[in-house]
Amino acid sequence: MLLIAGLGNPGPTYAKTRHNIGFMAVDEIARRWGFGPWRSRFRSFACEGSIETPDGPVKALILKPQTFYNEAGRAVGEALKFFKIEPENLVVFYDEIDLAPGRFRMKAGGGAAGNNGVRSITAQVGPYYRRARLGTGHPGDKTLVHGHVLSEFHKADLKWVEPLIQAVADAAPLLAAGEDEKYQTEVMRLAPAEKVDPRKAAKDAS
The residues annotated with a catalytic role in the active site are 19
Kindly tell me the number of DSSP H helices and DSSP E strands found in the chain.
8, 7
Q: Is residue 52 a contact partner of residue 16, using CB atoms and an 8 Å limit? A: no
Q: In what order do the strands lie in the sheet with 56-65?
A: 39-41, 44-53, 56-65, 2-6, 90-96, 130-135, 104-108
| Furthest-apart CA atoms within the chain: distance in Å | 48
Alpha carbon of 198 to those of 93, 118, 137, 144: distances in Å? 19, 20, 4, 14
Q: Is residue 84 a contact partner of residue 28, using CB atoms and an 8 Å limit? A: no
